[in-house]
Structure 1
């Protein structure tokens, strides 16, 4: 009995991975369909809004993977202990992961942004300077998720590595990527407005539809990002301290 409970404890992220993808897809595209049925002229008024949303969503997705995957690769190669023999401090590791996330995100998203013009006649750079604000907020929020996932993997081991993909996609339905927050049920709108991603995508639609940059959404996204980044960093530092105390750095690996 105890053995089965231990196996379940170690494999719960993989069980969630099997269940969450169909559920998230159903919820996400259910809200998209519901919104389109009541706003048939929405796509016609902003032909590039969906492609712009996809590209900005990829910034969030790549920023998350840019932080969590390099950390997991260090665990796969059993290199964490050797890494911290060096003068590298925990805070410096967080900064390095975020910087590498920026580089990897730029490399992966920029070609797609340029190819959207010849393929679909959509120039995402028409957003102008606000695009930098959207990019920065999504990059920070993706990094926050990646830092939190890295901390959980450090605590629970590589059995939790599925959280790299699970965590970010669970937030997709309430991030209002392809539809406004108003399309969500009332109780979900409250949750959505607690996420920097929802404010960012709302701001994007404001620029595309009305040509107006919403400072309110920008400051909400920036403020939430600041709080979440501090909380995620403190959580990571705490998990790193616990890993040292329990000797987990030497036990992780394939």
Structure 2
């Protein structure tokens, strides 16, 4: 849920600016693209903390499950890695919506559900067919969920797996940032910033 909410937080923050026809106003101001991205990340973090935090708090009295007590301090690292991956997806979705128009906004809702089955969310990577295991190997959430599974079931914290997730996230973030900047430049050149809206 963390990388879904973080991705949606970035995508929705961007699409709200598009729906309000505010992008042209934003980019004639002194606002730099990286400042817009940082503000989308901040909104995403707040939305994710409220959504996931609320669910975690309610899980204690309703289900008798305290995720913080079960996973301990590594939970913050797992959370951060899923958050980073969600932000990467959100940047790519935002860039595609900017370039292709609001017809592509369904990507904001669907993309995570395409990624989840190969991210070891529901079952271990080992049960996937071999080609999908290769896909899972480059997805940070697969490393995170396998690490969480090992910690919950075996009581073993695999720091190498978490480091691998972080390094993969750096790569995903670099690609997402590059795609966002390139498509933003293209949208500026084609005059798309003033042509988008509801």
**Do the two structures share a fold, i.e. TM-score over 0.5?**
yes
User: In 1, Cα distance between the equivalents of 2:95 and 2:7?
Assistant: 13
User: Is 1:230–2:177 an aligned residue pair?
Assistant: no
| Alpha-carbon distance between aligned partners in 2 of 1:182 and 1:150, rounded to the nearest angstrom | 33
* Structure 1: runs of 5+ lacking an equivalent: 1-57
Q: What is the total number of aligned residue pairs between the two structures?
A: 197
User: Unmatched 5+ residue regions in structure 2?
Assistant: none
Larger CA Rg, structure 1 vs 2:
1
Distance in 2 between residues matched to 1:123 and 1:247, nearest whole Å: 50
Which 4+ stretches in 1 moved above 2 angstroms? none
The answer to whether the 8 Å contact 1:174/1:198 transfers is: yes
- The residue that corresponds to 2:65 in the other structure is 122
TM-score (norm 2): 0.98
Give the SS at the match of 1:134: helix
In the TM superposition, 1:1-254 aligns within 5 A as: 58-126=1-69, 127-254=71-198
- TM-score after normalising by structure 1: 0.76
Structure 2 Cα separation of the partners of residues 66 and 187 of structure 1: 31
Q: CA deviation at 1:206?
A: 0.9
Partner of 1:19: none
Partners in 2 of 1:216 and 1:181 — Cα distance? 17
Q: CA deviation at 1:224?
A: 0.5
Contact 1:140 1:225 in 2 (8 A): yes
1:176 is displaced (CA, Å) by: 0.8
